[in-house]
A and B are shown apart, each in its own frame.
Chain A
């Protein structure tokens, strides 16, 4: 053990390694409901070469390596289920390049959303990236590694679809460039027109390698953003409303949410509609298109636009901090969500399930769905709040979330950022040959099984 610590210190320096109990305690958990598990070491590299040396050491010593961004995925994905090294990527936070004309940025593997946002605002105000509503300290590479979604997902797809190239340290220690950067200096394509190797690292939750550099698409940052809030009390209408809205092809982001408290939200489904423009005329034109397309629901009195004035500042924030306020409702500041990806048609069934689960397990719910790629699917979040000081409540939330995942699988949905048990449930339901392929890829990439072990394993 002493030798491993010494070797790690040699790689990253003393300030980059720790095995003190306080630090191990901190890195043994995430803010969700899963049971913590202690790592043996916490290591914070600064360069790709350091990452490479750590992985080679881990291979030699057969110890697990768990890449970690900000640990905010809430589903225990950075809990070191089998101990070993937690690799805290946050010191690798440099912005390496912005190609304004080709609209992409290349950043290091621990760069946070907030850092890129601030950099673009200062140096390239005409450009933006797809910011998730997660805290700004969460990292860009991790978000892509778990197929996250952000403000531009409605228009352009999952954030992982916006990847334009990767540099990865493979589980066996090789440094590998993926996409156009493997051929030249430009980071404009993750794969096409070659086989898309980026898929070997996106959605794998750190089990197939460590992303040390990532290229991400940037998009036009229009001068004005605005928001409208449509409400209806008829859940059966939601899929139709969303279909009509996405037909417009003018919306930046669409979120559908409902929650029983505070009372102003009771009984209604809310559709937050974001749109952008460079001029007041463009904004007015788009607003009118939105109003016109939903006029029929106003005429039938089934839906209408509510005044957003008093909530506007909160709604316009990026990321939207208000989302986490819900955690404070039952005291004790905890919440976790399951966010299956599903088709929009199923919104009413999922909505009913949330309410049913909240009643069954006596927990407080909130739900918010985000449209993906113009309505091909949506992320339907099933969130429950809990008091961290109430283990019984946390257990109830855990059961409610497990049942939500089982329901999502039954409905033909795909669990998003699944915890290790949900991954197991997913693999059990998967086409057997697809599962074989998955295992074969994983085995080949990580023959020692050292990368974030316990995840994407049939027997974790």
Chain B
């Protein structure tokens, strides 16, 4: 079984304890308290962090010293038999993402286009932008990154399933896997690396692909001239170096992202997992603050990166007068492939 590569000494001497001090769901009196709690987690002692962490993934980004505080918290929770979300919800996720041989794989040569286990991605990954790779689309539990189980503190599921997923891509002969879901790219890069799991193909982040395709199609772009708010997904915290791509893509298609409070490191979760883990009070509060902030920024669209965020927030942003749209659809709008008023 794979084990988390954890550098204890780095934490012991950490001057910031940013992982917990910056946490938006727990507060600490200062460095000493936050650091002390993290050290308890490291030593395998009980800590309030194990009971209060809302599983937003953000400390993976806050820690700038190369450790993986959130994976460790999840490991410790599982070791102690703790559940983040209710047991039936946790098991439901484990059951429904089981490999059952019901996957679909297109004509993969060197490249595969990963749609994870999210049907919406199959639709997004079509059209002019993806014309060369769409025939190589793959979908199903066999190709799904198991990162979602971190939310439920079931790292054992990840350690058991991820090597199988990787093997399934290898069997297809894929040398490059374009990941349409942040979580997949984050898993093949950040999580695999943290656990020493070998990934014998090159994971490609779809926003890198999107940016280069849009540059190739520059002549066809009509600047959209709109203001948007961006809903950053939790899994983007696993790959923070990729965050600037959003702005680059939006610049290219003439879309402005006005500054707002809950963006960048300070962004807020879509709320759906919070609803399972902590109940509606926290989820409603987070969604309300986030959406009001979007409105206050003057945005007329809410741009999504993750279909799960889009599904949980679309109706709510629409009620606030914003149009929900995936960033891929926004690019399709810019090249005239899609109507403007997407649902």
Asked if B149 is an interface residue, CB under 8 A from chain A, the answer is: no
Residue B275 lies at the interface, judged by CB distance under 8 Å to chain A: yes
Q: Please tell me if B209 contacts chain A, counting CB pairs below 8 Å.
A: no
In the bound complex, residues from chain A placing their C-beta under 8 Å from that of B280 are 287-288, 291, 305
**Knowing A291-B280, A298-B279, A307-B312 touch, does A266 contact B95 (C-beta < 8 A)?**
yes
B89 CB within 8 Å of chain A:
yes
Query: Among residues 231 to 247 in chain A, which have CB atoms less than 8 Å away from a CB atom of chain B?
Result: 231-233
Task: Assess whether B91 is in contact with A305, with CB atoms less than 8 Å apart.
Answer: no
Query: In the complex the two chains form, what is the Cα distance from A77 to B315 in whole Å?
Result: 45
User: Are A306's CB and B95's CB within 8 A?
Assistant: no
CA distance A180 to B280 in the complex (A): 49
Residues B96 and A304 in contact, CB atoms below 8 Å apart: no
Q: In the assembly, what is the distance between CA of A263 and CA of B117, in Å? A: 14
CB of A302 within 8 Å of the partner chain:
yes
Partner of A264, one of B96, B279, B319: B96
Asked if B95 and A303 make an inter-chain contact with CB atoms under 8 angstroms apart, the answer reads: no
B89 contacts A263, C-beta separation under 8 Å? no
13 example contacts (A-B, Cβ-Cβ < 8 A) are as follows A231-B89, A266-B95, A267-B92, A267-B95, A288-B280, A295-B279, A297-B86, A298-B279, A301-B83, A305-B275, A305-B276, A306-B89, A307-B275
Residues of A contacting B92 in the complex (Cβ-Cβ under 8 angstroms):
231, 264, 267-268, 306
Q: Do A304 and B88 touch (CB < 8 A)?
A: yes
A195 is an interface residue with CB less than 8 A from chain B:
no
Q: Chain A interface secondary structure, helix, strand, loop or mixed?
A: mixed
Q: Is the CB of A307 within 8 A of B86?
A: no
CA A268 – CA B275 in complex, angstroms?
Answer: 19
- Chain B residues with Cβ below 8 Å from A287 are 280
Residue B259 interfacial (CB < 8 Å) = no
B residues contacting A by CB (< 8 A) are: 83, 85-89, 91-92, 95-96, 98, 100, 272, 275-276, 279-280, 311-312, 319
**Does the CB pair B96–A233 fall under 8 Å?**
no
Please give, as numbers and ranges, the residues of chain B lying within 8 Å of A232 by CB-CB distance. 86, 88
User: For window 92-137 of chain A, which residues contact chain B by CB distance below 8 Å?
Assistant: none
Interface residue range, chain A = 20 to 34
Q: Is A309 an interface residue when CB atoms closer than 8 A count as contact?
A: yes
Residues of B within 8 A of A310 (CB): 311
> Complex Cα distance A280/B279, Å?
20
- Residues of B contacting A303 with CB < 8 Å? 86, 88
Most buried by B among A264, A295, A304, A307: A304
Cα A306 to Cα B277 in complex, Å, equals 11
Known contacts A268-B92, A295-B279, then 16 further A-B pairs from the complex at CB < 8 Å, ordered by chain A residue: A231-B86, A231-B88, A231-B89, A264-B92, A264-B96, A266-B95, A267-B88, A287-B280, A301-B83, A302-B88, A304-B86, A305-B276, A306-B276, A307-B275, A307-B276, A309-B312
- Cβ of A231: which chain B residues have Cβ within 8 Å of it? 86, 88-89, 92
Measured in the bound complex, the distance between the Cα atoms of B312 and A303 in whole Å is 21
A184 within 8 A of B: no
A233 in contact with B276 given A301-B83, A309-B311 (CB within 8 Å): no
Are A268's CB and B88's CB within 8 A?
yes
**A295 CA / B275 CA spacing, docked (Å):** 12
Complex contact B272–A307 (CB within 8 A): yes
B278, closest chain A residue (CB): A298
Measured between beta carbons, the chain B residues less than 8 angstroms from A291 are: 279-280
Q: Which of A288, A302, A307 sits near B87, CB closer than 8 Å?
A: A302
Q: How far is the CA of A168 from the CA of B280 in the complex (A)?
A: 52
* Shortest Cβ distance from B85 into A: residue: A304
Judging by beta carbons under 8 Å apart, are B91 and A304 in contact?
A: no
